């Protein structure tokens, strides 16, 4: 009886010390691959992803605006911060999707979107992510004729974009850019990653 009480007490202490749940551990990934509307729309549909925020990273200006980033003088890339449940989807899974939904072989551009703010980039938050990104890029290279030019850099600061950029495709599915550029990427994801669609 004492043994059972002790086990329950230890389990309760561990449970409470972990913010109330042993399964509440969430992780995040920050990727850039052209316009953030495209990446946001795809990753919002990935099973295990709980939140996607469009924003800016990799620059030198504090709290940049969209207009500043578009001028290409702040050094920021348009990125998304993906919050996910690693028990459902892994960082490696997200990277695999990332390589397929943009062209990582074009320097500072995606289609008609040109400039350093549209560069292909992975901002890692720890050494584990850096190593996984590097290995994933080596594996992905086998699927491209041209060399991958994706930047792999430490995340110093993520700045959320303005509210009107958030959930852009969901709120504006019939807008011209969404129809011509975003929708085809979402469809490509759903076709190639059927098992990962929510």
- Summarize the confidence of residues 88-105 as an average pLDDT: 97
- Averaged confidence pLDDT in the chain: 90
**Is the pLDDT confidence value at 108 over 50?**
yes
Q: What percent of the chain has pLDDT over 70?
A: 88
Q: The domain 26-196 is classified under which CATH number: 3.30.1060.10, 3.40.50.720, 3.40.50.150, 3.90.1150.10? A: 3.30.1060.10
3-state SS track over the chain: CHHHHHHHHHHHHHHHHCCCCCCCCCEEEEEEECCHHHHHHHHCCECCEEEEEEEEECCCCCCCCHHHHHCCCCCCEEEEEEEECCCCCCHHHHHHHHHHCCCCCCCCEECCEECHHHCEEEEECCHHHHHHHHHHHHHHHCCCCCCCCCEEEECCCEEECCHHHCCHHHHCCCCHHHHHHHHHHHHHHHHHCHHHEC
State the burial class of residue 41 (Cβ atoms within 10 Å of its Cβ: 0-12, 13-18, 19+): buried
**Is the pLDDT confidence value at 16 over 80?**
no
The catalytic residue positions are: 35
**Is the pLDDT confidence value at 91 over 50?**
yes
**Is the pLDDT confidence value at 8 over 50?**
no
- What pLDDT does 23 receive? 56
- Summarize the confidence of residues 24-46 as an average pLDDT: 96
**Is the pLDDT confidence value at 136 over 50?**
yes
Those residues whose C-beta lies under 8 Å from the C-beta of residue 172, and which sit 6 or more positions away, are 178
**Is the pLDDT confidence value at 176 over 70?**
yes
Closest of 101, 3, 6, 127 to residue 44, by C-alpha: 101
- Summarize the confidence of residues 108-116 as an average pLDDT: 94
- Summarize the confidence of residues 51-66 as an average pLDDT: 97
For the chain, domain boundaries:
26-196
Contact call for residues 37 and 90 (beta carbons, < 8 A):
no
- Summarize the confidence of residues 12-31 as an average pLDDT: 64
Closest of 76, 93, 51, 86 to residue 151, by C-alpha: 76
Angle made by CA atoms 112, 118, 120, in degrees to the nearest 5: 115
């Amino acid at each position: 009886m004492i043994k059972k009480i002790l086990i329950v007490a230890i389990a309760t202490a561990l449970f409470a010390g972990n913010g109330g749940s042993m399964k509440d551990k969430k992780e995040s990934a920050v990727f850039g691959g052209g316009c953030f509307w495209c990446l946001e729309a795809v990753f919002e549909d990935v099973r295990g992803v709980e939140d996607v925020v469009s924003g800016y990273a990799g620059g030198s200006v504090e709290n940049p605006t969209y207009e500043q980033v578009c001028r290409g003088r702040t050094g920021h890339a348009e990125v998304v911060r993906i919050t996910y449940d690693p028990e459902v989807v892994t960082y490696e899974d997200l990277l695999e999707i990332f390589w397929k939904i943009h062209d990582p072989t074009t320097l500072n551009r995606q289609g008609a979107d040109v400039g350093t703010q549209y560069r292909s980039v992975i901002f890692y938050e720890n050494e584990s992510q850096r190593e996984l990104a590097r290995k994933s890029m080596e594996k992905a290279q086998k699927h491209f004729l041209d060399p991958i030019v994706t930047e792999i850099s430490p995340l110093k600061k993520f700045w959320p974009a303005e509210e009107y950029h958030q959930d852009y495709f969901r709120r504006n599915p019939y807008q011209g850019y969404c129809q011509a550029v975003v929708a085809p990427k979402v469809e490509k994801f759903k076709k190639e990653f059927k098992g990962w669609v929510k």
